[in-house]
């Protein structure tokens, strides 16, 4: 069985100035790079406009 890559909105409901997205799984790096068009740093947070 292959583990899934999952992502979810972590910030609270309603209007906010910042959204936090959590990613986990073997393809997390590829998902971050696809969303940001930048190489993903190893185990680090990143701020960008989506």
Contact between residue 30 and residue 7 where contact means Cβ atoms under 8 Å apart: no
In the DSSP assignment, the letter for residue 27 is T
The dihedral of CA 34, 37, 41, 44: what is its sign? negative
Whole-number pLDDT of residue 4: 93
pTM of the model: 0.58
Instruction: Output the six-digit token pair for 29.
Output: 């790096």
Where in the chain are the domains? 1-50
Q: Give the count of beta carbons closer than 10 Å to the beta carbon of residue 3.
A: 9
At 42, the pLDDT band (50, 70, 90 cuts) reads confident
Report the mean per-residue pLDDT for the chain. Answer: 82
């Amino acid at each position: 069985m292959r583990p899934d890559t999952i992502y979810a909105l972590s910030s609270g409901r309603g209007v906010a100035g910042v959204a936090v997205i959590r990613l986990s799984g073997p393809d997390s790096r590829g998902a971050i790079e696809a969303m940001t068009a930048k190489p993903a740093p190893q185990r680090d947070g990143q701020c960008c406009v989506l």
